[in-house]
């Protein structure tokens, strides 16, 4: 692999990272709206059933394109940070 090829691949990674960050910001914006809704309606922040559904959807979306335990770990982290944001 040449240095130019590596650089092109790294630029693709940079673009992916930029998109991931944008999506995370969008997701956290929605989380804040959910936080307000839950507070107004006296709904618990933790919803294990919903978390299970989210992880299942993520596993199905990636299929065999990446290890399912990897995508589940990523979503566990996202949801952990989401719960922290809702508790503030």
pLDDT in tens, 11-55: 999 999 999 999 999 999 999 999 999 999 999 988 999 999 999
User: Could you tell me the pTM of the whole model?
Assistant: 0.84
CA gap 43, 34 in Å, rounded: 10
Report the half-sphere exposure of 57 (CA within 13 A, side-chain side).
7
């Amino acid at each position: 692999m040449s240095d130019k090829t590596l650089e092109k691949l790294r630029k693709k990674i940079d673009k992916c990272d930029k998109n991931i960050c944008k999506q995370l910001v969008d997701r956290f914006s929605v989380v804040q709206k959910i936080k307000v809704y839950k507070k107004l309606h006296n709904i618990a922040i933790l919803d294990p059933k919903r978390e299970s559904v989210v992880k299942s959807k993520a596993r199905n979306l990636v299929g065999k394109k990446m290890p399912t335990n990897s995508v589940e770990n990523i979503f566990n982290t996202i949801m952990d940070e989401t719960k922290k944001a809702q508790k503030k």
